[in-house]
Amino acid sequence: MSNSSTQKFVVIGAGHAGGRAVEAMRANGFDGAVHLIGAETAPPYERPPLSKEMLVASGVECPPMHPDAFYADKDITLHLGVTATRIDRETRVVTNSDGTQLSYDRLLLCGGGRVRRLDIPGGDLANIHTLRTIDDSRAIEALLRSGSSIVVIGGGFIGLEVASAARSRGCAVTVVEAADRLMGRALPAEIGDAFANLHRDNGVDIRLNTGVDRFIGDSGDSSVREVVTTSGDKLPADAVIVGIGVDPDTALADACGLAVNNGVVVDEFCRTSDPDIYAAGDVTYHFNPLLGRHVRLESWQNAQNQAIAAARNMCGENEAFAEIPWFWSDQFGVNLQMSGAPIAWDDTAIRGDIPGLDGILFQLNEESLVGAISLNRPRDMRFVKRLMTAGKSPPRDALIDEAVAFRDLLK
């Protein structure tokens, strides 16, 4: 980027994507002004430990992405504890909630998502929580005491990780899921069934095909005490964790007229409909050349790597962000990894033992490999991701044969 020392980059969102983006701007040689705006008072940090580590034991903290000195050393100005309230595309000015205004030459949106909440009677009672931030994780951890009754609403990744952590600390845990299987929005029935058995074997009460009608509180302190399901059951609850998904935070993009459709629409170079505004992470609906379509992802990998790609392109590179989506979850010591984002498949092939939590399920569409889910096979999954990135679809018999090494299938 010519005359970069006179340029100003502004990044809205100081989460994982925003933190990696400003780091990449400096690593790519940008020497102009860099401003990072974040609603939380904490500097950027990685979010996986919020559900995977901080809830498991007291006193565990989520380390910051960088030491405090990093931002001063790299001449990155932090605006923490404030939110961006307006983008004026004509004047290229961002207005913040504290009244400050920042002009920009290029702008990066990393606003992430907003957790969905239950708008039902009793929803404003104390000890009903969602999990998105460090403060959320600390508040939930304080409630996970041996003998406490914890009700988790939603049988997705976050809800099940919370359930696993709560059981490991001696809580009585009930998971309430409206669908007919766990993790049903992302994974096939074989995986959902295996994890339902895993949770039940570890003492979790799983309620499928069940919704929530209302919360009942204690008149003494306005805290939740019961969850009433749509089937009429009353579940005791010292705390409720709601994990029913995340919506992209597109309010700013909508207000300033950017293209929005299931997120801020960006091309493979992370550019929005305004050539001077880029976006990355959970907030985007981005074109993935390897998939041949737009997709919205909520994952550590996407938040980090797409933000790095966006930052480089803001600095003058012209690199497409093209990666096979990847996600992982740890529950009761079982490592789940998924690669790909298939919207349809007409066949599955299994290597190993999925009910026994040691195997890989492959999703095939017209004999092409479009997705894979591994249970306790992280080494194999590294090769599977490489297969999918290379666009290789080995024969079905080779995929399921334990005697065939994935390394050989790459040749």
Tell me the two tokens of residue 16.
Answer: 């994982």
- Residue 67 tokens, joined: 């030491």
Please give the sequence-ordered ranges of beta strands (E in DSSP) within 137-263, or none if there are none.
149-153, 172-176, 205-207, 212-218, 223-229, 234-236, 239-242, 246-248
Please answer whether residues 226 and 137 qualify as being in contact, where contact means their C-beta atoms are separated by less than 8 angstroms.
Answer: no
Domain 342-409 has CATH 3.40.50.1260: no
AA letter at 35: H
> DSSP label at 6?
G
CA gap 214, 210 in Å, rounded: 13
Domain locations in the chain as residue ranges:
4-114+247-314, 117-243, 342-409
In this structure, which amino acid lies at residue 267? D
CA angle, residues 400, 401, 405, in degrees to nearest 5: 110
Cβ proximity of 62 and 46 under 8 Å: yes
Note the pTM of the prediction, 2 decimals.
0.94
Strands (DSSP E) contained in 368-408 are 368-375
Rg (Cα) of the chain, in Å, rounded? Answer: 22
DSSP H or E run through 388: helix 378-389
Q: Please tell me the distance from the alpha carbon of residue 278 to that of residue 261, in angstroms, as a whole number.
A: 15
Per-residue pLDDT of the chain (411 residues; tens, 9 = 90+): 445 778 999 999 999 999 999 999 999 999 999 999 999 999 999 899 999 999 998 888 888 999 989 999 999 999 999 999 999 999 999 999 999 999 999 999 999 999 999 999 999 999 999 999 999 999 999 999 999 999 999 999 999 999 999 999 999 999 999 999 999 988 999 999 999 999 999 999 999 999 999 999 987 779 999 999 999 999 999 999 999 999 999 999 999 999 999 999 999 999 999 999 999 999 999 999 999 999 999 999 999 999 999 999 999 999 999 999 999 999 999 999 999 999 999 999 999 999 999 999 999 999 999 999 999 999 999 999 999 999 999 999 999 999 999 999 998
Cβ count near 241 (within 10 Å): 28
Report the side by side order of strands in the sheet with 172-176: 128-129, 239-242, 149-153, 172-176, 205-207
* pLDDT value for 391: 94
> φ and ψ at 300, to 5 degrees?
-60, -45
Fold classification of 4-114+247-314 is: FAD/NAD(P)-binding domain (3.50.50)
Compute the distance between CA of residue 275 and CA of residue 255 in angstroms, rounded to an integer.
17
Fill in the amino acid letter for 9.
Answer: F
Instruction: Using DSSP bridges, classify how beta strands 106-109 and 8-12 pair: parallel, antiparallel or unpaired.
Output: parallel
Which residues, in sequence order, are bridge partners of residue 12?
37, 109
pLDDT computed for residue 218 by the predictor: 84
Which of 3.40.50.10470, 3.50.50.60, 3.40.225.10, 3.40.50.2300 would CATH assign to domain 117-243? 3.50.50.60
Neighbours of 49 (CB within 10 A): 17
Residue with the two structure tokens 């994507």: 17
> Can 117-243 and 342-409 be said to share one CATH topology?
no
Say how many C-beta atoms besides its own lie within 10 A of residue 293's C-beta.
10
Beta strand pairing status for 334-339 and 347-353? unpaired
DSSP state of 260: B
